[in-house]
């Protein structure tokens, strides 16, 4: 299992955790939760993690955070995957495709 922390975790279109952790097992999201302090054996990535039920998202080359969230959350099924956006960006800031990475073990 891999435990990764970030400044924000977008769980759904209406739920965002500030300071949270995702747990990844066999390239699948196994758990996510808010934290209020440091956890042992946790990698800190910062930025934003978006939870998604889509394994291979067809992301545009450049898009806003809002557009990327809309692509990754197109299907409202239970999330099985986690994507990391490396920049600290606002919802309207342009993000390049290379700044979005699917998290895996």
Q: Which domains does the chain have, with CATH numbers?
A: 2-102 (2.30.40)
Q: Is the pTM here over 0.85, yes or no?
A: yes
Please, which pLDDT band fits residue 66 given cuts at 50, 70 and 90?
confident
Token look-up 């692509």 returns 71
The pLDDT tens digits of the residues spanning 15-29 come to: 999 999 999 999 899
């Amino acid at each position: 299992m891999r435990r990764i922390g970030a400044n924000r975790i977008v769980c759904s279109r209406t739920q965002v955790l500030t300071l949270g952790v995702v747990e990844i097992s066999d390239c699948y999201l196994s758990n996510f939760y808010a934290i209020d302090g440091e956890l042992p054996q946790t990698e800190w990535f910062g930025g934003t993690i978006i939870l998604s039920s889509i394994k291979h998202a067809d992301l545009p080359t450049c898009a806003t955070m809002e557009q990327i969230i809309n692509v990754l959350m197109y299907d409202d099924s239970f999330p099985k995957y986690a994507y990391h956006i490396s920049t600290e960006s606002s919802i309207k800031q342009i993000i390049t495709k290379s700044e979005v990475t699917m998290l895996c073990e």
